[in-house]
Amino acid sequence: MDFNTSIDRRGSHSTKWDKMERLFGVSPGDGLAMWTADSDYATAPCVIDAVRRAADHGIFGYVFEYPEYLQSIAWWMQTRHNWTVDPGWILTAQGLGNAIALCLDVWTDPGDAVAIFTPVYHEFAIKIETNGRIVTECPLQRKGATYVLDLADAQNRLTGREKLLIWCSPQNPSGRIWTADELRAVSEFAHRNGMILVCDEIHHDLVYPGNTFVPLDAVAPEGRAWTVYLAGASKTFNIAGQRTGNLIIPDPDLRAAMKQRLRTLDYNASSLALFMIEAAYSPAGAAWVDAQMLHLQGNREIFDAGLNAIPGVWSMPLQATYLAWVDFSGTGMTHEEVSARIRDVAKIAVSPGPGFGTGGETFMRFNLATQRATVEDAVQRMQRAFADLQ
């Protein structure tokens, strides 16, 4: 299990590396890509073996969502998250971005509103708006070193047109793991306001030692009648390019509605994706994820110590995710100045905080799923870029 051998991704049609110059003005020649959420190290050997077996077989014909594939997902949720999932609840989408778009399609109409708790994964708002729906932002509140919910404030922000609430657990960005009480409160909030709750748990495996992820369904099972769960291996195993992820829907009526939409759109899973998931969700895959988290823990410690040493810069302590959420408000600089220094001096492509909605204005998000040496390099670049503050 090697997370430190350098792998040159430039020229491999990687969105993260080969699009960064066009999107962020940072050349892959001497820059670092620390934006979109995929990892710079190879996936688990058991997953690569599954692809090799398929290649050796040489036939890439049609497949169906076969029982061992569905069982492996149920096994993973049970053994890793203590969440009992009936394989019959599981549907397959082309990634969770796609699953979110499908939920918007099935359970809202153009002109409806969709609630989100910000700052949150920027694509929630983008998907809502590009599908002709309206974003209702409910800002999280900063409390000490983390975010907390303010449901009374959220209640006041609802317009009455919300049909859906898209919830992120653990939160991207900030890596907050929500408690059982918070999850129950969100579930009840959605129900009280007549919203279907889409609970996106894509980052649930990327939990740092000493923390435990709480699956919403395990603590609020009464919410099944109005909740759709999203989970996937794309972040955990760095297989986002396979475009696969799961909708887990215990309620038969909600599930039937989604199944029908998948049928009308002629959705069928890719064979390689299914083989890779089955291989990933296994004891060998679990051991690899544990090792990955130790690697990320080391990355996070070096990154946080290095960034926090810059006066006015503060990296929020993560409970989960490999996405560092860094506040530059203490520097007194505008977002434009911070961006220019990171782009032109540090030469790092990062995800700009304002894209994550209200609360993200003074932040930048850095992806730490890379080799240790790259994190060390990034810290030095950042310290140089803000050296006048030292």
| Shortest spacing between CB 315 and ligand PLP, in angstroms | 18
245 or 306, CB closer to ligand PLP?
Answer: 245
| Shortest spacing between CB 187 and ligand PLP, in angstroms | 18
List C-alpha distances in Å: 288 to 47, 209, 315: 10, 14, 27
37 or 91, CB closer to ligand PLP?
Answer: 37
Q: Are 34 and 378 in contact (CB under 8 A)?
A: yes
93 or 338, CB closer to ligand PLP?
Answer: 93
Q: Which residues bind ligand PLP (CB under 6 A)?
A: 37, 95-97, 121, 168, 172, 200, 202, 232, 234, 240, 245
169 or 331, CB closer to ligand PLP?
Answer: 169
Question: Quick one: tokens of 209?
Answer: 């030692």
Q: Which residue is nearest to ligand PLP (CB)?
A: 95
CA dihedral of 289, 293, 296, 297, whole degrees rounded to 10: -170
Q: Checking phi first, is residue 11 left (phi over 0); if not, alpha (psi -120 to 50) or beta?
A: left
Q: Strand, coil or helix: what is 139?
A: strand
97 or 119, CB closer to ligand PLP?
Answer: 97
| Shortest spacing between CB 116 and ligand PLP, in angstroms | 11
| Shortest spacing between CB 293 and ligand PLP, in angstroms | 17
How far apart are the C-alpha atoms of 71 and 218, rounded to whole Å?
Answer: 18
Within 10 angstroms of residue 131's Cβ, the number of other Cβ atoms is: 16
| Shortest spacing between CB 198 and ligand PLP, in angstroms | 10
276 or 310, CB closer to ligand PLP?
Answer: 276
How far apart are the C-alpha atoms of 115 and 158, rounded to whole Å?
Answer: 8
Which residue has 């894209």 as its token pair?
355
| Shortest spacing between CB 385 and ligand PLP, in angstroms | 25
Which residue has 């220094």 as its token pair?
341
